Amino acid sequence: METKPIFLFADSQLLFLKNDQQEYYLQSVMNDITNADPSCAYIGASNNDEPVFYELFIAAMQNLGLTNCKKISSSFNEDGRDFLDKADLILLAGGDTELGLEIFREKGIDEILQRKYAEGSILIGISAGAVQLGWQSFKAVNEKMNATEALKLLPFIVLVHQDKDELAKVAVLLQISDIKRAYEIPMGGGLIFHQDKTIEAIRKPINEFILKEENLAHTLIFPGNHETV
């Protein structure tokens, strides 16, 4: 089955904002769903299943006319597993990146997400959720950066709303990583990873970083352009 686009948002703004044609940025999701009654799963493991973020998800889905929604709790009971197994659209919420990945591995959610993507489900990552869909995440331990394996559904590292000091460390991150490409999405911006392995910036330019030998190449990718990964 053909894979579908992966949507990466730095924060929840793009769930509700409209483009110049007054269409929601997520409206294109509807073009990729063939099920007459799509099921939409929300995973809030990264924020300890905080109810307010699920409410935002429900409101965003209702704007698209999608009402068959369910929160997949971190306890991951049989009911949640069954719903996730059939979901047409899956959103990974923001919060603590490492906490979410730990729960995914512990409950086997990581393997289900990888399979669902291969089967054609649409994946959306918000903030930490966007990072989790990428190749690796990073965490400072005793002033040393450690890399953690993420879901690896994208052939690059995802960074979100970094400040200038953090961006200065990108070369260090890529040096310790086993992949040498990263994209940083600014606050209020987004990125779509298309089936043809191209990326598209949404609303704001995104930073592309590629480490070649010891040299870090930095490029801005502007909305409307498709760049091959």
Q: What confidence score (pLDDT) does residue 168 get?
A: 73
Q: What confidence score (pLDDT) does residue 111 get?
A: 97
Q: What is the pTM of this model?
A: 0.94
CATH of residue 28:
3.40.50.880
145 within domain boundaries? yes
82: containing domain: 6-228
Beta-strand ranges (E) seen in 62-108 are: 68-72, 89-92
15 within domain boundaries? yes
Strands 226-228 and 206-212: unpaired
> 216: how many CB neighbours lie within 10 A of its CB?
16
1 within domain boundaries? no
Question: Which contiguous run of DSSP H or E holds residue 106?
Answer: helix 97-107
111 within domain boundaries? yes
**Residues in contact with 143: Cβ distance below 8 Å, sequence separation at least 6, in sequence order:** none
Q: What confidence score (pLDDT) does residue 1 get?
A: 66
- Please count the structural domains in the chain: 1
Query: What single DSSP character describes residue 129?
Result: H
> 189: how many CB neighbours lie within 10 A of its CB?
23
159 within domain boundaries? yes
Copy the structure tokens of residue 107.
């409950």
Copy the structure tokens of residue 32.
């990729």
Low-confidence ranges of the chain (pLDDT < 50): none
26 within domain boundaries? yes
